[in-house]
Amino acid sequence: MTATTSVIGNPSMSRVFSAESTNSIYTNQNDSVTTTAIGLSMPGATVSYVCSTTAAGTGLWRIISSTTNMIHRQGIVSKTGFVCPSECMITPLAIKSDMLFQIYVQPDSIDPGTTNSVALVYSNRGVEAFQTVGSIDATDTPLVSVISGLGVGNLLFGASISRIEVATDFGASLTDITVIDATSGTQFTGYGSTRLPTAGGKSTQTNGVFPMAITVQKGWVVNLNTLSA
């Protein structure tokens, strides 16, 4: 279990959502005052920022419909006590009564020389959550879907990727991200870094944001190369 806390709102109002989140699954976060879901706590409100934090590990947040399972917004969490409000801005979203706010915590990797990471892959099909678990230092490790376990090439075959955001364990670093085709050729390479509060970091949320324009083919993979804290 990991303590997670978020502030959600707009320039005129905000609410605090929190939970003891179970690691490696999406956990509902309720209003800390009313103990209700976001759809009942803020019905009809338009929110323009989500600032989510976790006491340990790394993670993702999402606002999802409890009736259709449609994911309306997703983002990456920051470390508790280290938030940049400007990074928390989202495309405004009108809250409906069936919406839930959830956080997925990927705990810190427990094996020496390994790192856990999460990523959001943006394409013309929407935004998908991916992860690597226990990636060995300086070794390419493919991203797999948080939900299905499929790789990028299988889940997003035919889609056009426009951006990938990556967040490792706090204190770990992302050496690079590579897109590899079915013949093991490298189609894209991007260099990463650490994230705040670790020295050298530029963001409280990510180790790197990588714009791209790549149409995914069958058998392609997206690899992360990381170094543990």
Question: CB within 8 A of 187, min separation 6: which ones?
Answer: 179, 180, 181, 214, 220
pLDDT at 129 over 90: yes
State both tokens at 121: 């892959």
The stretch 188-202 carries a mean pLDDT of 94
Q: What is the pLDDT of residue 55?
A: 93
Enumerate the β-bridge partners of residue 222: 179
Q: Over the chain, what is the mean pLDDT?
A: 96
Does the structure show a pLDDT above 90 at 229?
A: no
- Residue-wise pLDDT tens digits, 83-108: 999 999 999 999 999 999 999 999 99
Domain locations in the chain? 2-106, 114-227
Query: How far apart are the C-alpha atoms of 126 and 64, rounded to whole Å?
Result: 13
Q: Contact 4/27 with Cβ under 8 angstroms? A: yes
Sign of CA dihedral 124, 145, 189, 90: positive
- Tell me the pLDDT tens digit for each residue of 29-64: 999 999 999 999 999 999 999 999 999 999 999 999
pTM value is: 0.95
